[in-house]
C-alpha cells in the first residue's frame, strides 16, 4: 500500500462542536453559527524521507522487475545514492523509443517535487497490465481521464482514469525518473546541497560555508556571469554563503555531474524538472529574452500541460525572466542548449511543502496526467523539431 494511501487513511478531519451557552457567546461577541464547527486537520501530510523512498523503490522493483529498473547514477557528498528509476517494457534493453526524463528535488526543501514522481511511479507499476477497468463502479469504463476535468459530469474529478494509457506509455517510451536529485538537501530540508565550499571560487584551504544551488550549477553559458555581472545577480550567485550560490565551477557538484553523465549517455526528447512553488511552467531560455529556436513547440506543449494543471505558462519574453534578471546555470538551459531536449520547469503548489493531505494528493494525481501527456507527446517531438 502506498504511503500516500496510508496517510490519507490516518487523516481525520474532526468537526469539533462547541457547546457554549448563549451568555458566553454574547460575552465573546460572536454568533453561535461562527463557532458551531471548528475544523481541525488532525494529521499533517508526511512526505517521503530518502530512506523510505529507497525502501519503496527496492520493493517495487522486486514486484515489477519486468517494467522497472533501479540504478544509482552517483553519490552525494554525504554518501547517499542518487536513484534513477526506469519504466519501460523490455526493461533491460535500450530501445529505439523516445526518452522522457522527469526530475525532482534539485532543491531539497521543495517536497512536492519528489512526492509527485514517487506517486507517479506507484501509479504506473500498479496499473500496468490491467485492461481498462471501471474504477468507480458506475457502469462506464475509464470515462474520466486525469485532466483536472469532471468529464462525465458526475461531480467527481478524474475518478476513472484509463489503464490503457499507462500501458501505452510504458510500452512506447523509456521513462527515466530521478525523484531526488538532491537527497542530502531533502534530508536537511535545505535548498542547497550539503557539500562544503572552500571560498566562493574554491581557492581557500579551509571550509567557508556549505551548499550549492544545484539549479545554478549546470555549465551552459557559464561565463556570462562574469561578462554581465549586473544582469545575472552576480553577487547572489557567486558568493558561497548565498542561497543561490552557483558553485566554484560548472558541474562542480556530485549531483549535477551525475545528471550530466546520465543525460550524455541516453536519448531523451522531453524533460520536466519539478520544483515548488508558484503554479508556473517555465521553458528556455531562462537567461535571455531571446526566443528559443523551438519556441513554438515549447508553447504548444506548455499550453497542453497548462490545460491539465491550470498553471500559468511563462514565455521567455515575459517579465518573470526579463533581460536584466535572467537565471544562468539551470538544468533546463543546459538540457536544451547542449542536448536539444525540450525541457520545462514545473513549479508546483502555492507553498514549498503544503501540509494538507488533500492538497498533496490532488497535485500528485493531477501530475500523473501531466506526465502521461508528456510521454504521449514525446512520440512526435523529434519530427516536430526537424520540421522547424
Footprint of Ca ion (CB under 5 A): 133-136, 138, 140, 142, 144, 147, 149-152, 154, 156, 158, 160
Q: Which stretch binds Zn ion (CB under 5 A): 37-45, 50-58, 103-111, 352-360?
A: 103-111
Q: Residues 262 to 281: which contact Zn ion by CB under 5 A?
A: 275
> Could you tell which of Zn ion, Ca ion, none binds residue 134, using a CB distance below 5 to 8 A set by kind?
Ca ion
Q: Which is nearer to Zn ion, 113 or 127 (CB)?
A: 113
Distance CA 219, CA 117 (A): 26
Closest approach of Ca ion to the CB of residue 29, in Å: 44
Q: Which is nearer to Zn ion, 100 or 105 (CB)?
A: 105
Q: Which residue's beta carbon is nearest to the bound Zn ion?
A: 275
- 285 cis-preceded (ω within 30 degrees of 0): yes
Q: Percentage helix, strand, coil, to 5, in the chain?
A: 35, 15, 45
Spell out the residues 6+ positions from residue 299 whose beta carbon is closer than 8 angstroms to its own: 313, 315
Cα dihedral sign, 344-348-370-318: negative
> Could you tell which of Ca ion, Zn ion, none binds residue 126, using a CB distance below 5 to 8 A set by kind?
none
Work out whether 216 is an interface residue with Zn ion (CB under 5 A): no
Q: Which is nearer to Zn ion, 120 or 282 (CB)?
A: 282
Closest approach of Zn ion to the CB of residue 142, in Å: 34
Q: Which is nearer to Ca ion, 147 or 347 (CB)?
A: 147
Closest approach of Ca ion to the CB of residue 54, in Å: 31
> Could you tell which of Ca ion, Zn ion, none binds residue 34, using a CB distance below 5 to 8 A set by kind?
none
Distance CA 145, CA 141 (A): 10
Closest CA to 194 of 207, 203, 179: 207
H/E stretch holding 180: none
78-to-1, 197, 240, 303 alpha-carbon distances in Å: 30, 14, 19, 39
> Could you tell which of Zn ion, Ca ion, none binds residue 275, using a CB distance below 5 to 8 A set by kind?
Zn ion
| Ordered DSSP codes for 261-313 | HHHHTS--SEEEEEEESSSEEE-S-SS-SSPPTTHHHHHHHHHHHHHHH-PEE
Q: Which is nearer to Ca ion, 96 or 131 (CB)?
A: 131
Distance CA 354, CA 360 (A): 7
Among 3, 64, 107, 367, binds Zn ion (CB under 5 A): 107
> Could you tell which of Zn ion, Ca ion, none binds residue 347, using a CB distance below 5 to 8 A set by kind?
none
Closest approach of Ca ion to the CB of residue 166, in Å: 10
Q: Which is nearer to Zn ion, 107 or 167 (CB)?
A: 107
Helix (H) and strand (E) counts in the chain:
13, 12
Distance CA 333, CA 290 (A): 13
> Could you tell which of Ca ion, Zn ion, none binds residue 295, using a CB distance below 5 to 8 A set by kind?
none
Do 237 and 328 touch, CB atoms closer than 8 A?
A: yes
Q: Which is nearer to Ca ion, 171 or 338 (CB)?
A: 171
Task: Give the residues across from 39 on adjacent strands.
Answer: 15
Closest approach of Ca ion to the CB of residue 199, in Å: 53
Q: Which is nearer to Zn ion, 37 or 325 (CB)?
A: 325
Closest approach of Ca ion to the CB of residue 219, in Å: 41
Site residues for Zn ion per CB under 5 A: 107, 110, 275
Amino acid at each position: 500500500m502506498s504511503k500516500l494511501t496510508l496517510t490519507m487513511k490516518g487523516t481525520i478531519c474532526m468537526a469539533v462542536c462547541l457547546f457554549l451557552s448563549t451568555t458566553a457567546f454574547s460575552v465573546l461577541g460572536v454568533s453561535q453559527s461562527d463557532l458551531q464547527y471548528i475544523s481541525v486537520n488532525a494529521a499533517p501530510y508526511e512526505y517521503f524521507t530518502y530512506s523510505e523512498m529507497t525502501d519503496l523503490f527496492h520493493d517495487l522493483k522486486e514486484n515489477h522487475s519486468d517494467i522497472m529498473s533501479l540504478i544509482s547514477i552517483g553519490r552525494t557528498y554525504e554518501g547517499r545514492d542518487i536513484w534513477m528509476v526506469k519504466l519501460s517494457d523490455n526493461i533491460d534493453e535500450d530501445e529505439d523509443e523516445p526518452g522522457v526524463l522527469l526530475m525532482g528535488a534539485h532543491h531539497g526543501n521543495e517536497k512536492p517535487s519528489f512526492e509527485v514522481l514517487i506517486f507517479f511511479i506507484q501509479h504506473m507499476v500498479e496499473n500496468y497490465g490491467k485492461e481498462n477497468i471501471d474504477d468507480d463502479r458506475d457502469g462506464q469504463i475509464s470515462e474520466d481521464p486525469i485532466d483536472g476535468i469532471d468529464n462525465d459530469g458526475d461531480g467527481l474529478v478524474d475518478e476513472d482514469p484509463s489503464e490503457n494509457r499507462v500501458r501505452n506509455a510504458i510500452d512506447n517510451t523509456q521513462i527515466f525518473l530521478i525523484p531526488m536529485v538532491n537527497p542530502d538537501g531533502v534530508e536537511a530540508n535545505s535548498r542547497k546541497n550539503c557539500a562544503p565550499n572552500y571560498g566562493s571560487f574554491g581557492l581557500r584551504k579551509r571550509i567557508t560555508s556549505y551548499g550549492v544551488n544545484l539549479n545554478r550549477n549546470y555549465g551552459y553559458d557559464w561565463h556570462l556571469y562574469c561578462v554581465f555581472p549586473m544582469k545575472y545577480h552576480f553577487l547572489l550567485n557567486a558568493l558561497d554563503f548565498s542561497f543561490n550560490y552557483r558553485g566554484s565551477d560548472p558541474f562542480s557538484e556530485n549531483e549535477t555531474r551525475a545528471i550530466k553523465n546520465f543525460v550524455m549517455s541516453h536519448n531523451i526528447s522531453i524533460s520536466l524538472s519539478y520544483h515548488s512553488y508558484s503554479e508556473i511552467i517555465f521553458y528556455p531560455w531562462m537567461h535571455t529574452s531571446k526566443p528559443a529556436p523551438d519556441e513554438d513547440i515549447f508553447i504548444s506543449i506548455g499550453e497542453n500541460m497548462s490545460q491539465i494543471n491550470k498553471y500559468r505558462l511563462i514565455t521567455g519574453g515575459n517579465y518573470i525572466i526579463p533581460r536584466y534578471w535572467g537565471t544562468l546555470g539551470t538544468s533546463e538551459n543546459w538540457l536544451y542548449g547542449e542536448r536539444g531536449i525540450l525541457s520545462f520547469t514545473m513549479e508546483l503548489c502555492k507553498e514549498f511543502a503544503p501540509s494538507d493531505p488533500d492538497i498533496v494528493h490532488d497535485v500528485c494525481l493531477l501530475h500523473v496526467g501531466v506526465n502521461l501527456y508528456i510521454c504521449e507527446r514525446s512520440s512526435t517531438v523529434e519530427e516536430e523539431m526537424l520540421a522547424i
